[in-house]
Amino acid sequence: MPRPPLRACVASLLLLCLALTTCGGGGDDEGPPSAEEQAEQRASALLTRMTLDEKIQLVHGVGFREPGAGFIDGIPRLGVPDLAMVDSASGINLPDSGSTALPAPLALAASWDPLLATRYGQLIGQELRALGFAVGLGTGINLTREPRNGRTFEYMGEDPVLAGLMAAHRTEGTQGEQVIATIKHFALNQQETRRYESNSVVDERTMRELELLAFELAIKRSRPGNVMCGYNRINGLKACEHGGLLNGVLKQEWGYRGVVQADWIYGITDTVRAALAGTDEEQPGSEDDSIGTLDVPTFFNQKLKAAVQAGQVPLARLDDMVLRKLRTLYRIGLMDDPPRRGGSVDRAAGEALAEHIAAQGMVLLKNSPPADASRPVLPLQADALQSVVVVGGHADVGVISGGGSAKVPAHDGNPVSCLQPDPPVDPRPVTRPCAIYYRSSPLEAIRTRLPQARVQYVDGSDAAAAAAAASSADVALVFATQWTTEQRDLPSLALPGPGSDPWNYSHDQEALITAVAAANPHTVVVLQTGTAVTMPWLDAVPAVLQAWYPGIRGGPAMAQVLFGEVNPSGRLPMSFPRREGDLPQPAISTTDLDVVYHEGVAMGYRWFDARGIEPLFAFGHGLSYTTFAYSMLELSKAGPDTVAVHLRVQNTGSRAGAEVVQVYASLPAAAGDAPQRLVAWRKVWLAPGEARELTVTVERDRLAAWDTQLHQRRLLPGRYRLKAGRSSRDPDALQAELDL
């Protein structure tokens, strides 16, 4: 959509103001008020004109009356527009809207490319506006503490710095299009099992150095209009009724001036508790609190009004809720130029970006020479292949995606989900958990690249038949899928089969891979999963490509990487365990509501490092079709607050490619930290033979430990070791030390 120049001007002015913290100045004001100050002034002025009922109207939704996930009625008398909101984790969750199904946020995180995150956010923002939505619910950044969490694909992995910065860029991209983005679920919301009641038991340091750090980085930098508080409890208190976290950490300490929006349905359990703790908005809310929505009680309509009239919630608190909303609407440009329904999305542009991001987020996990060859099996050489067998995963029709509120409907029908009939004992078709597939056939994309070869598809339901077909082919490509969704944690990290997920799988995928690999040493496994999977078959296959949920153009994107048109540059945003017994939490309890973070700060790769456990694939791992060499590592102090890491990186192979230079720090022993933590990274694109000297800046706070006596970060004096490498476990990483 063409943008009016005025909007661009306001947006750039805002960005400039954000960059200059002194924007607008104080007492010695010389120029006109900044956009920020204007927003504040206009919001305050409008507030004085509002009645009590109008104020109440702006802090709750009206149930599921309108399309989308929530809706606040506008106030035409005052020029406040209707505010329609919709889930938009990786595209707009609205049937038949034509919205682009982008790759999952986890795939975006795997690109380690902040600029791509901005483009991802921009596309979502453009589509939200085109479809008439003022608010997009996303992105989520709960860290992957528990990889069996059914929502892992919606988030950005296990590291707070990676997740926080990628989410910041994603949010800036969306809000730059004049719509509000919601960052969720604040906080410590790491699994779905008994999600309305579970209680995350976490010590102060662990929460500060991990989950809260991800939110802090994302929120301070991108200033989302909304932060959604989660369903879970934290050390006994509901997240949306946790004054220490909402009023204390988020609003006072971090200076957050936007709206705290409660997670849908069971986020709030008590009007006064939630309002006083800092929750500013209830969704989906209801027209009548005495009825509620979907048999669930609501709290911020008549009940909140009564609490204000009775003095249980001070009027000043209600005013603060409304002011937060109004200043956000002014700041983002929604008051002056609200979105209108009836537009359409640019499908071609969306799909082109989706394909690009999918390819950039894929991670080449393994690529070895097969037993009878000297070169790795990937990239495939089209002119050398006469016969290829493609097996399983419904690769003949499309690619899988995740479920729940983060889904993007398949606008042209869902070709293959729900393979099995409903079990007779469960007559609730609405709750039937079926995977969405997009019509983006990997088989077709492979065939177009091999016009001369014989390309055969076998569906994989019969492992022996698949093996027989594979035995005479030059290459066998096995597509394996794992469906994950909100509201349901995985029973295990094994690739699912008919035993664990009969609605979506008719065959045992592990047995299939084993059988095909035994028949053909040139077997490549392509994984479409929402989290890590265990790979008991790994030694038998020479190559594995992790494609995550790759979105609406997943088929061509996979083919681009398999055939080397795109040199893979994704890196794992989460550790892949060798076996589930290696995880901190052996299983997810369905009976014990306390989820105890007993591993403390040793979460994710920090756990594997602290325990000396070899992961199957380490955090940060990802191969390329070219090679890179690092040299000349030097550290210097770049001012009181930062350390500069200088190094030279060279593409030593014969293909252009991107390298993700990862910087990890080991703190002095007195810090009691895990052995290392990611403190910065840089993604660089290098032509064959090209070398570049880089400076990667590490902010002082990334090196600090949380002091539980002072309740703040503290940089301990001592020796810091910094390591620059290709992954958290790169044996060739360069290291140097520095005294701080």
- The residue ranges that bind ligand BGC (CB under 6 A) are 69, 87, 137, 184, 263-264, 405
Span between the terminal Cα atoms of the chain, in Å: 51
CB 147 within 8 A of CB 532: yes
Helix (H) or strand (E) run with residue 550 in it: none
Of 169 and 185, the one with the shorter C-beta distance to ligand BGC is 185
Report how far residue 486's alpha carbon sits from residue 25's, in angstroms, rounded to the nearest whole number. Answer: 45
Taking alpha carbons only, the member of 244, 165, 250, 233 closest to residue 204 is 244
Q: How far is the CB of 261 from ligand BGC (least distance, A)?
A: 9
Residues in CB range of 451: below 8 A, 6 or more apart: none
Pairing of strands 657-666, 719-725: antiparallel
Helices 347-361 & 554-562 angle (0-180, nearest 10): 40
Of 185 and 356, the one with the shorter C-beta distance to ligand BGC is 185
Of 159 and 263, the one with the shorter C-beta distance to ligand BGC is 263
Q: How far is the CB of 505 from ligand BGC (least distance, A)?
A: 25
Q: How far is the CB of 263 from ligand BGC (least distance, A)?
A: 5
Longest dimension (CA), the chain: 81
Eight-state DSSP code of residue 715: P
Of 88 and 569, the one with the shorter C-beta distance to ligand BGC is 88
**E strand intervals along 245-358:** 259-262
Residues paired with 576 in a beta bridge: 617
Helix (H, G, I), strand (E, B) or coil at 705: strand
Eight-state DSSP code of residue 670: G
Taking alpha carbons only, the member of 15, 19, 8, 326 closest to residue 177 is 8
The structure tokens listed for 219 are 């929120």
Of 69 and 455, the one with the shorter C-beta distance to ligand BGC is 69
Query: Environment class of residue 31 by beta-carbon count within 10 Å: exposed (0-12), middle (13-18) or buried (19+)?
Result: exposed
Report how far residue 145's alpha carbon sits from residue 32's, in angstroms, rounded to the nearest whole number. Answer: 48
Helix (H) or strand (E) run with residue 85 in it: strand 83-87
Eight-state DSSP code of residue 293: B
Q: How far is the CB of 211 from ligand BGC (least distance, A)?
A: 16
Of 60 and 606, the one with the shorter C-beta distance to ligand BGC is 60
Report how far residue 411's alpha carbon sits from residue 401's, in angstroms, rounded to the nearest whole number. Answer: 13
Q: How far is the CB of 417 from ligand BGC (least distance, A)?
A: 20
- Phi-psi region for residue 188, left (φ > 0), alpha (ψ -120 to 50) or beta? left
Other CB atoms within 10 A of residue 124 CB? 29
Of 87 and 289, the one with the shorter C-beta distance to ligand BGC is 87
Of 132 and 393, the one with the shorter C-beta distance to ligand BGC is 132
How many CA atoms are closer than 13 Å to the CA of 334, on its beta-carbon side? 29
Q: How far is the CB of 262 from ligand BGC (least distance, A)?
A: 10
Of 94 and 561, the one with the shorter C-beta distance to ligand BGC is 94
Report how far residue 205's alpha carbon sits from residue 209's, in angstroms, rounded to the nearest whole number. Answer: 6
Q: How far is the CB of 86 from ligand BGC (least distance, A)?
A: 8
Query: Environment class of residue 387 by beta-carbon count within 10 Å: exposed (0-12), middle (13-18) or buried (19+)?
Result: middle
Of 87 and 172, the one with the shorter C-beta distance to ligand BGC is 87
Q: How far is the CB of 609 from ligand BGC (least distance, A)?
A: 31
Query: Environment class of residue 144 by beta-carbon count within 10 Å: exposed (0-12), middle (13-18) or buried (19+)?
Result: buried
Q: How far is the CB of 405 from ligand BGC (least distance, A)?
A: 4
Q: How far is the CB of 268 from ligand BGC (least distance, A)?
A: 13
The structure tokens listed for 301 are 């309509």
**Cis ω before 139 (30° cut-off from 0):** yes
Look at the block and give the residue holding tokens 């909101």.
85
Q: How far is the CB of 182 from ligand BGC (least distance, A)?
A: 7
Of 286 and 534, the one with the shorter C-beta distance to ligand BGC is 286
Q: How far is the CB of 205 from ligand BGC (least distance, A)?
A: 27
Of 69 and 477, the one with the shorter C-beta distance to ligand BGC is 69
Q: How far is the CB of 72 from ligand BGC (least distance, A)?
A: 14
CB 459 within 8 A of CB 441: no
Q: How far is the CB of 229 from ligand BGC (least distance, A)?
A: 11
Q: How far is the CB of 398 from ligand BGC (least distance, A)?
A: 25
Of 231 and 256, the one with the shorter C-beta distance to ligand BGC is 231
Of 298 and 441, the one with the shorter C-beta distance to ligand BGC is 298
Report how far residue 243's alpha carbon sits from residue 278's, in angstroms, rounded to the nearest whole number. Answer: 6
CB 210 within 8 A of CB 159: no
Pairing of strands 199-201, 233-234: parallel
Of 193 and 534, the one with the shorter C-beta distance to ligand BGC is 193
CB 392 within 8 A of CB 467: no
Of 39 and 181, the one with the shorter C-beta distance to ligand BGC is 181
Pairing of strands 180-186, 226-229: parallel
Taking alpha carbons only, the member of 503, 508, 457, 450 closest to residue 480 is 508
Q: How far is the CB of 137 from ligand BGC (least distance, A)?
A: 4
Of 228 and 495, the one with the shorter C-beta distance to ligand BGC is 228
Alpha helices in 49-130, H assignment, sequence order:
52-57, 105-111, 114-130
Of 264 and 549, the one with the shorter C-beta distance to ligand BGC is 264
Q: How far is the CB of 264 from ligand BGC (least distance, A)?
A: 4
Q: How far is the CB of 136 from ligand BGC (least distance, A)?
A: 10
β-sheet with 691-699: strand ranges across: 628-637, 642-651, 691-699
Residues paired with 486 in a beta bridge: none
Report how far residue 349's alpha carbon sits from residue 329's, in angstroms, rounded to the nearest whole number. Answer: 28
